[in-house]
Amino acid sequence: MDEPARLFFARLAEPAGTPALAEDEVEAVLALARDVAHGAERRFAPLAAYAAGLAIGAATDPAERAERVRGVIRAAGGLLEGPPAD
């Protein structure tokens, strides 16, 4: 992750009192957005990333955050089966 992105995520997390996104979380959400854009409809990719953030919520425990990220990916996986809509 480049420095501007790291600073952006840190600034978003600070007022919420949550840890900034970890590198693996960034990669997971980017993969989710990509999969939604190609497996459903492109315009839903930002919404999927936002919904993932809401589902992960304010979990501060790293193990809980990791489990919530995995849960979001599992939930999306079942919805994205089949050919891309594009």
Q: What are the residue ranges spanned by the domains of the chain? A: 3-79
Task: Extract long-range pairs of 33-38: CB within 8 Å, 24+ residues apart.
Answer: 35/76, 35/80, 36/76, 36/80, 37/86, 38/84, 38/86
Residue 85 near residue 43 (C-beta atoms within 8 A): no
pLDDT band at 13, cuts 50/70/90?
confident
The structure tokens listed for 48 are 């999927």
Residue 1 has pLDDT above 80, yes or no: no
Given this model, what pLDDT does residue 82 score? 54
Residue 69 has pLDDT above 80, yes or no: yes
Residue 78 has pLDDT above 80, yes or no: no
Given this model, what pLDDT does residue 86 score? 44
Residue 85 has pLDDT above 60, yes or no: no
Cα angle 48, 61, 7; round to 5: 60
Given this model, what pLDDT does residue 15 score? 83
Global model pTM greater than 0.85? no
